[in-house]
A and B are shown apart, each in its own frame.
Chain A
């Protein structure tokens, strides 16, 4: 899929662990892992909003389009 999820990059920048982020945005660690590894088929706006709030970033920082 040409959409790349840069969640791990943002997490590293904010020095946040998966466990803490999962608790903060209200998803399981397993689901967060699916999102990080790019296996997810879709992201809910509510999840994206929670991620942006927790990581203090924009959706564009998390998602990237590559040809």
Chain B
């Protein structure tokens, strides 16, 4: 059973992002970039499936600029067997990425495609569902538990108010939530080994996919800032203020 894991290169989650002065986007030059944390969880799950003898091969795939090769090397160090980069400098929106992933999936024939539920840069939360739709596959989004059983996979999903379990026919696409697992640390020997693993580079044109953006970003700005308020000495003063000044309680 092959598992395909799409990974995205994003601004590291510890970086405080700054909006560019000209309002065209956020500053990404000279900013630490990392693998999207949700994708890291997806990859960890794939590696665990392989360690459990369920998966035979893990292919990491990324769509984006040349530097995404670094992200793929990290994926190889975590445990992917080989990597594919669909390389382009063009802006990629979720629908285009889903189509590129479809083209890769049709070449690779994976049984499961595991990816993060959303990327922490554009916060779209779309690519997995779009990919599943275009493949005509079942989808299991926001997974906190994944159990492969024969020709089906059971996915426990985090939904508003609790959990839901669905049984999906394989092949299927699964998008993962935070609590699925805790990704392992990358070790130095594995980083060295990752350098020798195969990394194939493809062009979107070669896959026959139109990646033209459908959405234009007109402006990016900082949200209105909240001002720090006042410190109050005790609960009594607080309740008085909430009643008489803010008027939020009776």
Q: Do A and B come from one complex?
A: no
Residues of A within 8 A of B (CB): none
